[in-house]
Amino acid sequence: MRFATFVMSCAERRATLDATLAGLSACGWPPVDEVILDDGVGARPIDRIHRTWRRLVKRASLAQSEFVLLLEDDLVFGRWFTENLSSWSLLDSVGPGMAFYAALYNAGRPYLMRRPAERCLVADARFVWGSQALVMTPCTARYLDENWDTAEGNPDQRMPLIAARVTPIYYHVPSLVNHARVPTTWGGMDHVATDFDAEWRAAAPTRVDQQPSAASAGLR
C-alpha cells in the first residue's frame, strides 16, 4: 500500500469534514483509513488542536504503508488530485526507512530553491506554517512523535522544524489542495494557497534518474 490516509477533525465540524471527505472521494482517492477526532481535552481550542495533531502523528507512525497523507478537515481538492499526487516523481526517490516531509498546500512562505523538474520547492523550515495536507513516511511521523517537545510553536510550525533535522521540507508545485472558506476552530487568520488551480493536471510522469536524494537521513 503506497498511502495510508488520516484526517483530523472535531465533532462540531461534522459538515465541514463530510464535505472534505466527499471532495477527496470525488477525485478518485481511496477511502481514508481513520478520522482522528478532537477528544475535548484541553482548556483552549489551540490546546486541543495540539493534542489532536499529536495523536494523529502517533497514529501515522504506526501505518504499514510507504507514505502517509495527513489532512485537515477543511479542504478543496483539485480535480486531478489523485493522478497528480500519484505521479509525483519525487516520491520515487524515497526508499524504505528514509525520511520525507512535504506539504501539498503553499501559502506563499519563503523557500530556498525551486526544482521544476520535480514539481517542488525546498522550503525554509524556519518560516513554514500551514498543515492542510502533508505527505510523509511513517518513520518521519515516528521521529516527530519522539521529538515533539524539542521544538516550539503550533503543530504546523513545530513539525517542519523537527523534520528538517532529517530531511528537506518540500512543497508540491503547484498546490494540490486549497483551504475551504470556513472559520477556523481557534481564531487563526483566513488564508488560501497562492498557486492552487482546481483544473491543473500534471504532464506525463517523469522519473528522477539519480540516487535517492529526497531524504538526507534514513530512519529505522
Average pLDDT over residues 200-214: 55
pLDDT tens digit sequence for 93-133: 999 899 999 999 998 888 999 999 999 999 999 999 889 99
Which residue has 478520522 as its cell numbers? Answer: 35
CB atoms within 10 A of CB 179: 21
Whether 162 maps to a domain, the answer reads: yes
Whether 69 maps to a domain, the answer reads: yes
pLDDT tens digit sequence for 76-88: 999 999 999 999 9
* 3-state SS, one letter per residue, for the chain: CCEEEEEEECHHHHHHHHHHHHHHHHCCCCCCCEEEECCCCCCCHHHHHHHHHHHHHHHHCCCCCCEEEEECCCEEECCCHHHHHHCCHHHHHCCCCECCEEECCCCCCCEEEEEHHHCEEEECHHHCCCCCEEEECHHHHHHHHHCHHHCCCCHHHHHHHHHCCCCCEEEECCCCEEECCCCCCCCCCCCCCCCCCCCCCCCCCCCCCCCCCCCCCECC
pLDDT tens digit sequence for 137-192: 999 999 999 999 999 999 999 999 999 999 999 999 999 999 987 656 545 556 68
State the total domains in the chain. Answer: 1
Mean pLDDT of the chain: 88
Whether 65 maps to a domain, the answer reads: yes
Query: 47 or 65, which is more confident?
Result: 65
Whether 189 maps to a domain, the answer reads: no
Q: CATH number for the domain including 99? A: 3.90.550.10
Lowest mean pLDDT among 17-31, 157-171, 194-208: 194-208
CA atoms 170, 176, 180, 185: torsion sign: negative
Nearest CA to 96 out of 219, 4, 188, 12 is that of: 219
Q: How far is Cα 106 from Cα 123, in angstroms, rounded to an integer?
A: 10
Whether 111 maps to a domain, the answer reads: yes
Whether 216 maps to a domain, the answer reads: no
- pLDDT of 47: 87
Whether 193 maps to a domain, the answer reads: no
Whether 116 maps to a domain, the answer reads: yes
